[in-house]
């Protein structure tokens, strides 16, 4: 079975604080992909990153960084020096090579206050 758990329903921070969004996944497949998407108030989901199961290197893109740990089945997302424009719902998602269907977590609503 494929499952993505985002335990944090809502997070509120003040601008310039760092924030980490947690994602824990379950899959029996050895080949799979993990994703993060951002959904701003406009409703359109925006792709942020994809990692495959064989690449555990952490990645940094500007203020965003991702920590992938197979040992704990986690793929956490950190925003450094958060900004008001980061306010959105963030979804973690998983696709396995056998099922080929993208499974989304329930999302984390991030609110950044000025």
Partner 1 sequence: EAGVAQSPRYKIIEKRQSVAFWCNPISGHATLYWYQQILGQGPKLLIQFQNNGVVDDSQLPKDRFSAERLKGVDSTLKIQPAKLEDSAVYLCASSLDRVGNTGELFFGEGSRLTVL
Does the footprint of partner 1 cover residue 70 (CB under 8 A)?
no
Radius of gyration of the chain (CA): 14
> Does 43 engage in binding with partner 1 (CB under 8 A)?
yes
Q: How many whole angstroms separate alpha carbon 16 and alpha carbon 3? A: 32
106 binds partner 1 (CB under 8 A): yes
Task: Report if residue 35 touches partner 1, rule: CB under 8 A.
Answer: yes
Least Cβ distance, residue 80 to partner 1 (angstroms): 24
Q: Using the rule CB under 8 A, is 95 a contact of partner 1?
A: yes
Which of 13, 53, 104, 111 is in the footprint of partner 1 by CB under 8 A?
104
Residues paired with residue 94 on neighbouring β-strands, in sequence order: 34, 103
Q: Round to whole Å and give the CA distance between 76 and 56.
A: 12
Give the C-alpha distances (Å, rounded to integers) separating 71 from 18, 27, 95, 105, 112.
Answer: 24, 13, 18, 20, 31
Residues that bind partner 1 (CB under 8 A): 4, 33, 35, 37, 42-47, 50, 91, 93, 95-97, 100-102, 104-107
């Amino acid at each position: 079975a494929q499952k993505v758990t985002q335990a944090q329903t809502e997070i509120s921070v003040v601008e310039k604080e760092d924030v980490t969004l947690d994602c824990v996944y379950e899959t029996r497949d050895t080949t799979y992909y993990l994703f993060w998407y951002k959904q701003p108030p406009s409703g359109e989901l925006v792709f942020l990153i994809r990692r495959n199961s064989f690449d555990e290197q952490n990645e940094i893109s500007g203020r965003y960084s991702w920590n992938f740990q197979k040992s704990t089945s986690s793929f956490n997302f950190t925003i450094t020096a958060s900004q008001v424009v980061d306010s959105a719902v963030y979804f973690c998602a998983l696709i396995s090579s056998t099922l080929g269907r993208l499974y989304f977590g329930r999302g984390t609503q991030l609110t950044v206050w000025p």
